[in-house]
Amino acid sequence: MGDEGKETGYHIHSHDVVIVGGGLTGLRAAIETVDHGLDTAIISKVHPLRSHSVSAQGGINAALGNAVPGDSWEDHAFDTIKGSDYLADQDAVEIMCKNAPATIIELEHFGTVFSRLPDGRIAQRPFGGGMFPRTCYAADRTGHNILHTLYEQLVGREKNEKGKGGRLTFYDEFFVSSLVKVGDDSFEKGAGKAKRCAGCTAINIADSSLHGFTCYSLLLATGGFGRLFARSTNSLINTGDGASLALRAGVPLKDMEFVQFHPTTLYDTNILVTEGARGEGGYLLNSRNERFMEKYAPKSMELAPRDIVARATQQEIDEGRGFEGGYVLLDLRHLKKEKIAERLPGIRLISMDFAGVDPVESPIPVQPGQHYSMGGVVAGNDLATELPGLYAAGECSCVSVHGANRLGGNSLLETVVFGKLAGQEIEKNFPSSGSWDKKGVEKAVLERLSAEDSRIKALLAKKSGVKMHSLRDELKKTMFEYFGVFREGSKMEKGLKKLLELKATYPEVHINNKSPLFNHALIYTLELEGLFDIAEAVARGAIARQESRGSHSRVDYPERDDERFLYHTIYRLKDGKPVLESLSVRLGKFPIKERVY
């Protein structure tokens, strides 16, 4: 496993490309770089098959027109842009929607077992925001199917012989703790003094040893930051590490205030109940047995975009038409046992195991919960960030295909379309000589490793102080309470004050467990430091945006305000201080309209 670091005590690994993240984005990118001959490393803090992508349920969008003929990429793009409340960059949406049908076919050829129509073609179900059967699925375990397919593809490539594609190495259960930058002139003559990303540092979770990685290009594919909020459908690992790594390396974040709340998460545990359940015909009832979506979206009903259904559900609960404890009901009984077993088997099991309810016989108790991070690391359509050598794709990035609200089924699509493109771009920009100043980079990596070593030793040296778990719980509660489904200016100011007070206590944080073996408390503590960076970006963006758009709903500014706010929020650290800037939205052929559903 690379240089054993006899002199320094650190382990150094050298690759052409380092991909941080073993979810759909990272794996899809790796297929591309490996097939183009690049020596690729995939680093993941969990085994790749435990990445959050595995839990995606409902499906992946593509205008195949299988279930109902007559769909087109333009219709898909229109629905996406309207769903985004016009904040998506239209050229990026075009890339995603145009590539969608070929991507599904490619996944099928890789081996993904999609559900089928009786004539054998890939089946499609309606999802929110489109109301058209455009979402391809593998029962309600779509992410599981695609992730396993891509992983299998890569396991085959791990055994590549010389001359047949590039080398591939998995670093499972390695936690990336910082990015490494070097002067660009150590790479190419005449590139000036600009900095460049040339690697990262990581902790091997099994034994806490420190590892340095050198590379020519590094792709962040680290997923979302759902675990910043008290109620979330996201895996425990979704702590937005990529966004904070980038921010600290001087790379800005975009549209962080846009956080998606899903209307149907299981009461109390907040495990997701897929939109596919409504796509198959399920409907929502309040405590008066009313299908309340009639009031909020009379045309689309339960298949209006998520932000609209989540707000409607929360409003019913807030105004006393929910059930005690704060939930409404999702009724699937009329779909009957056979259809539920065929199309929604996972949802039935989840409901029985975690809520004690069999949806064949009783409605499922549901409530809104955080689900998706629309904002992320600023990346162009070529997935490049502001920092040469650093790329970002998938949920950790903001290429701006989702704008202010993501449509269900578009995120899986984003991971595979832009994961592939990221791999292609990295390959395109790789030096034809295949070489660069690796010694210079190694020196920079060693310096960073020594800084990380001191940071970790200082954390472990503390004998008493604030408990990591209590601080993290406080942060999550604060974010859900002050920056949740509904937001208001003075309340958010209070929330920001509270979160800055909490952040100020982070240096006091104390870890009981001092063992080097699988010290998850240490990893959680490092994640928590990053979560504070992200929390501040969300809070400051939300306070500054005095309008309601997509998922960002302000009771004090209930209207969308295109004159003042049709722009992206850019958040960066300058000399360690937060700075907000704005960036124009790239409009196109789809004109801005009212968002009526």
Ligand X SMILES: Cc1cc2nc3c(=O)[nH]c(=O)nc-3n(C[C@H](O)[C@H](O)[C@H](O)COP(=O)(O)OP(=O)(O)OC[C@H]3O[C@@H](n4cnc5c(N)ncnc54)[C@H](O)[C@@H]3O)c2cc1C
Site residues (vs ligand X, CB under 6 A)? 20-26, 43-46, 48, 51-53, 55-60, 142-143, 175-176, 221-224, 233-234, 237-238, 241, 272, 274, 372, 394-396, 408-412, 415
- Our answer to whether residue 306 is catalytic in this structure is yes
Contact status, residue 378 vs residue 256, Cβ threshold 8 Å = no
d(Cα 428, Cα 142) in Å, to the nearest integer?
31
Edge-to-edge strands of the sheet including 174-183?
11-14, 209-214, 195-204, 174-183
**CB within 8 A of 591, min separation 6: which ones?**
none
For residue 179, give the 3-state DSSP assignment: strand
Q: Which is nearer to ligand X, 80 or 90 (CB)?
A: 80
**CB within 8 A of 418, min separation 6: which ones?**
25, 96, 383, 393, 394, 397, 399
Q: Which is nearer to ligand X, 274 or 548 (CB)?
A: 274
Closest CA to 582 of 562, 560, 565: 565
Q: Which is nearer to ligand X, 214 or 415 (CB)?
A: 415
Q: Which is nearer to ligand X, 387 or 496 (CB)?
A: 387
Q: Which CA distances in Å does 591 have to 78, 91, 255, 559, 588?
A: 9, 13, 21, 18, 7
- Active-site residue, from 196, 227, 306, 572: 306
Q: CB of 473: closest distance to ligand X in angstroms? A: 20
Q: Which is nearer to ligand X, 177 or 286 (CB)?
A: 177
Q: Which is nearer to ligand X, 199 or 408 (CB)?
A: 408
Contact status, residue 240 vs residue 396, Cβ threshold 8 Å = yes
Residue position matching structure tokens 């790796």: 30
Q: Which residues lie across from 172 on neighbouring strands?
A: 44
Q: Considering just the CA atoms, what is the radius of gyration of the chain in Å?
A: 23
End-to-end CA distance of the chain: 55
The DSSP annotation for 210-251 comes to EEEEE-SEEEE-----GGGSSSBSS-TT-S-HHHHHHHHTT-
Closest CA to 27 of 64, 5, 2, 54: 54
**CB within 8 A of 516, min separation 6: which ones?**
207, 208, 209
Q: Which is nearer to ligand X, 363 or 394 (CB)?
A: 394
Closest CA to 83 of 97, 64, 70, 99: 97
Q: Which is nearer to ligand X, 405 or 415 (CB)?
A: 415
d(Cα 31, Cα 356) in Å, to the nearest integer?
42
Residues that are catalytic: 306
